[in-house]
Amino acid sequence: MIVLIVLGVIVLGLGGFVVWFLKIRDPLKGEDFYKFHAEQKWAWELTLSPEQEQAFMAGLEAYDDDRGCYPMREQGILRVHRPMMLISLFWMTEQFAAMGPGAVQDPAGAVQHLMDRAADGEIPGVLYYDDEWMGEDVEQIDGLDKYAFTDAMMSATHAQSVDHAFAGGYADEDSGFVAMGVLAKDPAHVSRMYDEASAMGGPQKPLDNRLDVIREVMKPVDPTLMDAYGRAEAEKSKYINTLVFCFERVVKRYHEARPEMQYAEPRDVLSVVMARMLEEGRSGCTWTRPPSREQHDLALAILSNRG
């Protein structure tokens, strides 16, 4: 009986993977696997015309062939491998557009120029990171390995008793950076878009056992529903600003602050450290676009009220 259940779960898993592969992950039949397709979807992409975006992506692809980079589309961040830096895609697309027709004619040269500017020194929208952020031959900080320390950092970006909307977040324990979305409230029309997308899925069936859960997760997803949800996510991105921290410099400030907070949990120390970095304008953190006073104050409140 146990064998039959295991086989059933495997079959369901394979079926779900096929559905994910064909209908969700790869709606363009292969094209969506390329990192640099133009889609005119996220807020930073809308800075460019369709022709400009295609050229911009061609320039990124040329740089990727040489040194490596990856667009984190939803966060509005370009991750560059050599030299290691995070660049705001809002900054890049605005600068690319400002170059005029020349950027479209020579996208590889235009993107290389922007990369050189970013590598010359940290400016707003550019953050350097280091994958050796823990220190040479260091495997633990305050008794925490890189996974536990990253978890503590993520905890520091989640507020307690602060009214705000969920705006996503991302942390990479291997590369050493964390991104924190900041949004005071979903605009009314965005909330309606999410509600309309959810309604397409119909009423939720009762989940009485584990097999019901597996069936629900693995069942084919209506592409129309996915498109509607994707449109809501893209529209919401217009109102989100993202704050990014470099682990290496957070760790340096952590060691400085630890003696005055001997009995605090690591995540509480991180909350204080990251809030200070933001409030005092210290190096090691930046925004993907210039923050409003409301966004700055909200981020500070979130970091200062760790949940």
pLDDT of 217 reads 65
pLDDT of 212 reads 63
Asked whether the predicted pLDDT for residue 5 surpasses 70, the reply is no
pLDDT of 133 reads 95
Whole-number Å distance between alpha carbons of 75 and 299: 16
Asked whether the predicted pLDDT for residue 48 surpasses 90, the reply is yes
Higher-scoring residue by pLDDT: 223, 121: 121
For residues 255-265, give the mean pLDDT: 91
Whole-number Å distance between alpha carbons of 97 and 218: 43
For residues 38-52, give the mean pLDDT: 95
In the numeric block, the tokens 């209908």 are attached to: 23
Asked whether the predicted pLDDT for residue 95 surpasses 60, the reply is yes
Least confident of 89-93, 213-217, 226-230, 290-294: 213-217
pLDDT of 209 reads 73
pTM value is 0.81
Whole-number Å distance between alpha carbons of 56 and 188: 33
Q: Are 239 and 190 in contact (CB under 8 A)?
A: yes
Neighbours of 70 (CB within 10 A): 14
For residues 269-296, give the mean pLDDT: 95
Mean residue pLDDT of the chain comes to: 85
Q: Which long-range contacts (CB under 8 A, 24 or more apart) does 184-189 make?
A: 184/294, 184/295, 184/298, 186/236, 186/239, 187/239, 189/235
Higher-scoring residue by pLDDT: 196, 23: 196
Asked whether the predicted pLDDT for residue 180 surpasses 90, the reply is yes
pLDDT of 105 reads 96
pLDDT band for position 17 (cuts 50, 70, 90): very low
